Chains A and B, each alone.
Chain A
Amino acid sequence: MDGPVPGRASAGVWAPAASSCSSAAPEGRMCVCPGPRRIGIPVRSSSLPLFSDAMPAPTQLFFPLIRNCELSRIYGTACYCHHKHLCCSPPYIPQSRPRYTPHPAYATFYRPKESWWQYTQGRRYASTPQKFYLTPPQVNSILKANEYSFKVPEFDGKNISSVLGFDSNQLPANAPIEDRRSAATCLQTRGMLLGVFDGHAGCACSQAVSERLFYYIAVSLLPHETLLEIENAVESGRALLPILQWHKHPNDYFSKEASKLYFNSLRTYWQELIDLNTGESTDIDVKEALINAFKRLDNDISLEAQVGDPNSFLNYLVLRVAFSGATACVAHVDGVDLHVANTGDSRAMLGVQEEDGSWSAVTLSNDHNAQNEREVERLKLEHPKNEAKSVVKQDRLLGLLMPFRAFGDVKFKWSIDLQKRVIESGPDQLNDNEYTKFIPPNYYTPPYLTAEPEVTYHRLRPQDKFLVLATDGLWETMHRQDVVRIVGEYLTGMHHQQPIAVGGYKVTLGQMHGLLTERRAKMSSVFEDQNAATHLIRHAVGNNEFGAVDHERLSKMLSLPEELARMYRDDITIIVVQFNSHVVGAYQNQEQ
């Protein structure tokens, strides 16, 4: 996996490929849109009357369409019909990714400028079409609305953590956003957990995973004695040991209603861990713990949906969680030991600073999708030979799902009987939903999907400066090398720009002045953001063909109405973890 993933819409994960869409009627209704708004594009229109409310097919059809070779025609048509309105920029397709069809954002270049304005003007203004751009402060307030920074507290100037802190941010495209993020410090063991979660078919599953997964991991990492102590405390009603210290943005919420249910499932898990303990080895393998935690949580999600809950709200919630899906990319940092557990197509990328100061990207996760041949192989091996053609079709699992591993998505895990039984006994909302009733085609030997993560281990070195965890919304707009370079330059610009010292050299005032002016120009682009993740989003959304942020473009992208944003970009969630090279270096020296 050395190339970027082609554009895909996570809300469109469920969208069938173009061919099946045009032929099979039930599949056409398959999309589950989170909101009531459905804006459509005719499947084979040559004139692109783009944003009429009357269009019947769901928005989500658009991208699969593009990916299935319709693109050139749409582009061509758009150019033909709207050449008077075109933005002047030519399509920017980086040299680094010629294999792939351009991703949705490129469509912007071809998008007639006025079209979405006509659409909004219909509501806001009577006649005069007038251009309106967000001002830089407005752009900033949108970009910064979800930004969060955490610095690991230092004591007496001695920072014993290999993590300096992290910056995170997210920019919604779906309404509501389906991405989630989590960050927490393990209090009973050392180490910090960070994760991004990309939901599809709604946000229920990604929400549940974001609040529960770290507990499962932390519990898996706990030594036997601590588990016993906690269990005894629960049993005797004493105060519990805290397990996680969360680092949350105010917008990151936890479900109050399900809290008790979730706790009970977690407790059952640790009770089993206690019972299973043979008392032999005390060493806990982090890799194993991560895998167990992922699998266990997915199992609990599935079980909870099968068992149901007497409370009708909770009952509906657990079903929504199970029937929606989420990918997860989680990093566990403890000293120099970095584990990345990945399920799905989010990515963890390490920023490495070479001796000459340049930046290179080291991928610490593999995407689980059709672009990963090993995954395709795995799926084919796991199912009978006669399914070889249907199990991965049009680059999707069973022709439907883009990620090949995910939480939830019981439609790809349960037997047909089980699905029918649960839906029939479930609440009316579920029963009335065309999507939940729909059974994937060629569904013979479930399960087709797993939440088991692939765990990568990396031993941190002093040149490993930061880790970027991000959902595919970022990776489909930017090359990993650019991501690492932008973050690297941002971080050094902010914190490590080497001070100039004259010391002994012959420097004239004029030379110094030239040097300083240059440095300042470089800094000013960085100054706007106090958060590396925000800086990255600014580039991801606003970069022009020269790789520089273009305010007009940024402003246009951010002022897209909710209904349209998803056509141009996916939800983006980013966590940038900064490492403390001094601490990492000290670890290294100790062990030498």
Chain B
Amino acid sequence: MHVPEDAVVSSADVALALASAASQSGVQIYDRTSILHVMVKRGQVAGVETDKGQIQCQYFVNCAGQWAYELGLCSEEPVSIPLHACEHFYLLTRPWETPLPSSTPTVVDADGRIYIRNWQGGILSGGFEKNPKPIFTEGKNQLEIQNLQEDWDHFEPLLSSLLRRMPQLETLEIVKLVNCPETFTPDMRCIMGESPSVRGYFVLVGMNSAGLSFGGGAGKYLAEWMVYGYPSENVWELDLKRFGALQSSRTFLRHRVMEVMPLLYDLKVPRWDFQTGRQLRTSPLYDRLDAQGARWMEKHGFERPKYFIPPDKDLLALEQSKTFYKPDWFEIVESEVKCCKEAVCVIDMSSFTKFEITSTGDQALEILQYLFSNDLDVPVGHIVHTGMLNERGGYENDCSIARLSKRSFFMISPTDQQVHCWAWLKKYMPEDSNLILEDVTWKYTALNLIGPRAVDVLSELSYAPMTPDHFPSLFCKEMSVGYANGIRVMSMTHTGEPGFMLYIPIEYALHVYNEVMSVGQKYGIRNAGYYALRSLRIEKFFAFWGQDLNTLTTPLECGGESRVKLDKGVDFIGRDALLQQRQNGVYKRLTMFILDDHDTDLDLWPWWGEPIYRNGRYVGKTTSSAYGYTLERHVCLGFVHNFSEDTGEEQVVTADFINRGEYEIDIAGHRFQAKAKLYPVPSLLTHKRRKEDVELSDLHGK
């Protein structure tokens, strides 16, 4: 790919230019000064202690590159910044007989894992090899720094691919091989934002070898973050708070970056799962599920089942999931979805973040009423779906909260909210010993019984009537399941299907699972994984935080009005913004698209990020998509904007605007017609199988 405006910039010169510009505006730069530690007072940065004395400050930005991990620990309240350095080699040669012109394009040969560019009339060429050499695992080590030598043997594969791509370079004379370590993060995305534990402590590191290209933008967002309290774009994917201390093991980082670095030049297929640093957090049922054919994905260090390979399936045929087309798990997930619709499935959802908030008086209710948009002053035993909004009405979190007692609440959030949500709650909770916030994620195993027969399984196991009259929807009760007492049963699922969530103290997990599976046999129970869940929820138009929802989307923009009680009688964060928005209208709207002329078998699949066209004009991008096994169509969720034809300015989006448009989804250059929906397809809500469709095979155990 040739980019005519492509340019080469010297990072050292850019840094010097920025420094001198900053100095001119009054910034003081201390050269050759090392930080001993960062001083923290009452959770807020107070200053830094250097080898040349103290400096008071309100903000501190850790931009220490590959030393950021160590610097993060040099603080009274340690900040974990998961990154690790790898050696990186590039080659410099003497000029060509006729020196290369400065207009020579930069060439990237991803298959050969190398880049080549002009350097003083000769070339500069480096790459990202398959077998990276991690370095500085034990921290800043004098020995290793001194030993940063050229390693020609290590560079050999890259040199070979360079000469294969450009054989004529053979006669160029070598100047040297430079060894210049680069830092990498556990997920190949950079790390920025404010520390969850220390206010005023900001971080901008881990550029995965793209520091110079990303530096400008990243700096801009970080500056906004510091000045306004939030960046102008959704940067959740780069937020330091997507990681916790659990990703900061040196061994984990060392192993993970060895997988990340080669990935830079690899083809990134959808639903990629890292292979290193796995099996860190697991449910007590991990072995049981694994033995039954579970294939795993990892979220925030937690292993979650993707789907279960039936015993009769040819495993060898399943190793080719790396495709942009129909993946090989299609039929497997289909049978799991079918079972959820017609019988009952069990999904291990233990990875979800679980907090308990209790107080001696009404403090818990008061603070939750202020932090959450829905009305939480509900009778004990009720469950409330609610957003946790910021001042602008955007979702900081989307969660379910059960009122366990007058003064105690149980809160379930997405897995990767563990650090962010904790930090958010802590930030607003008063220092009050009568108000206790506890992370109980590790205490409970969560099983989702999903499907119409879930009620039968549970009532048989508990000897309690589970019908809607006795156990209405969105209700929470502690009851016995099998021999185990005190199981928290909730009549809710995260997909809109009928079913129950079981929160089981971990020591009972195996027992309850075994009981459920053995009693469930006659109702056709089987295991299911997250891919089935995903298909079900997208088909039902359930938006998920972190995929469809982020800090810049409000409930009014995604059909979440019912989860906002603007008039609950108490003020809450974001209320003013929402009131304003209700008056002014929304500028984007989450919409469901059902692809019409898409051939599931032959066409490329939508994964996410596909452009949406309305009447031939670009209006936004999809945020998630899945094949809907009931609709037998692909379903995409995405935001529709209304850009002014003249100015490109965003305008109000109304239901009418959505409904009166012809839509197309662009998948890799091919546009597919799509039907836009603002509400779930009603027929899906009351699924009934017609009598004449029943087959003998429906009598088989699933």
Residue numbers of A with Cβ under 8 A of B are 157, 497, 499-502, 506-510, 512-513, 515-517, 519-520, 523
Contact = CB atoms under 8 A, between A and B. Distances in A.
Contacts of B93: 509
Nearest to B159: A513
B390 to A, nearest CB: 51
B170 A499 contact: no
Nearest to A520: B156
A554 to B, nearest CB: 27
Nearest to A502: B174
A508 B152 contact: no
Given A500-B152, A519-B153, A513 B160 contact: yes
A509 B169 CA distance: 7
B174 A508 contact: yes
11 contacts: A157-B143, A499-B152, A499-B153, A502-B176, A506-B173, A509-B162, A509-B169, A509-B173, A512-B159, A516-B159, A519-B156
A515 B170 CA distance: 13
B177 A516 contact: no
Nearest to A523: B153
A523 to B, nearest CB: 8
Contacts of A517: 156, 160
Contacts of A515: 152
A277 B143 CA distance: 50
A519 B155 CA distance: 12
B151 interface: yes
Given A501-B149, A519-B153, A508 B160 contact: no
A308 to B, nearest CB: 53
A502 B143 CA distance: 22
A492 to B, nearest CB: 14
B351 to A, nearest CB: 36
Interface string B142-174: 010000011111011001101100000111111
A509 B170 contact: yes
A502 B156 contact: no
Contacts of B171: 508-510
Given A510-B163, A512-B159, A513-B163, A502 B177 contact: yes
Nearest to B155: A516
- 8 tightest Cβ-Cβ pairs between the two chains A and B: A510-B170, A516-B156, A500-B152, A507-B174, A502-B174, A509-B172, A508-B171, A509-B169
Interface in B616-666: none
Contacts of B170: 508-510, 513
B436 to A, nearest CB: 46
Contacts of B162: 509
Given A157-B143, A500-B153, 19 more contacts: A502-B150, A502-B174, A502-B175, A507-B173, A508-B171, A509-B159, A509-B162, A509-B163, A509-B169, A509-B170, A510-B163, A510-B170, A512-B174, A515-B152, A516-B152, A516-B155, A516-B156, A519-B153, A523-B153
A513 B169 CA distance: 11
A507 B171 CA distance: 9
Contacts of B143: 157
B413 to A, nearest CB: 47
B68 to A, nearest CB: 26
A157 to B, nearest CB: 7
B100 to A, nearest CB: 15
A31 B172 CA distance: 72
Interface in B665-700: none
Contacts of B172: 508-509
Contacts of A516: 152-153, 155-156, 159
Given A509-B93, A512-B159, A499 B173 contact: no
Please indicate which of the listed interface residues B152, B163, B176 has the most CB atoms of chain A within 10 Å of its own CB. Answer: B152
A502 B91 CA distance: 12
Contacts of A500: 150, 152-153
Contacts of B173: 506-509
Interface in B159-210: 159-160, 162-163, 169-177
A239 to B, nearest CB: 36
Contacts of A499: 149-153
A516 B170 CA distance: 14
B167 to A, nearest CB: 9
Nearest to A157: B143
Contacts of A512: 152, 159, 174
Contacts of B175: 502
Contacts of A520: 153, 156
Contacts of A523: 153
A407 to B, nearest CB: 47
B562 to A, nearest CB: 61
Contacts of A519: 153, 156
Nearest to B125: A509
Contact of B150 (A501, A508, A513): A501
B97 to A, nearest CB: 13
Interface string B133-148: 0000000000100000
Interface string B376-398: 00000000000000000000000
Please indicate which of the listed interface residues A501, A509, A513 has the most CB atoms of chain B within 10 Å of its own CB. Answer: A509
Contacts of B152: 499-500, 512, 515-516
Nearest to A503: B176
A483 to B, nearest CB: 27
A297 B268 CA distance: 67
Contacts of B156: 513, 516-517, 519-520
A517 B157 CA distance: 9
A507 B156 CA distance: 15
A517 B171 CA distance: 17
Contacts of A506: 173
Contacts of B177: 502
A238 to B, nearest CB: 41
A157 B169 CA distance: 42
Contacts of B160: 513, 517
A447 to B, nearest CB: 58
Nearest to B163: A513
A528 B149 CA distance: 26
A486 to B, nearest CB: 21
Contacts of B169: 509
Nearest to A501: B150
A523 B149 CA distance: 20
A504 to B, nearest CB: 10
B118 to A, nearest CB: 16
B157 to A, nearest CB: 9
Interface string B44-72: 00000000000000000000000000000
Interface in B511-559: none
B161 to A, nearest CB: 11
A512 B169 CA distance: 12
Contacts of A510: 163, 170-171
B303 to A, nearest CB: 29
Contacts of A501: 149-150
Nearest to A506: B173
Nearest to B91: A509
B649 to A, nearest CB: 54
A7 B94 CA distance: 61
B133 to A, nearest CB: 13
Nearest to B143: A157
A560 B694 CA distance: 62
Nearest to A510: B170
A316 to B, nearest CB: 46
A189 B91 CA distance: 52
Please indicate which of the listed interface residues A501, A506, A508, A517 has the most CB atoms of chain B within 10 Å of its own CB. Answer: A508
A84 to B, nearest CB: 41
A513 B176 CA distance: 14
A510 B160 CA distance: 9
Contacts of A497: 153
A497 B149 CA distance: 14
Nearest to A519: B153
A390 B159 CA distance: 70
Please indicate which of the listed interface residues A499, A507, A512 has the most CB atoms of chain B within 10 Å of its own CB. Answer: A512
A8 B23 CA distance: 85
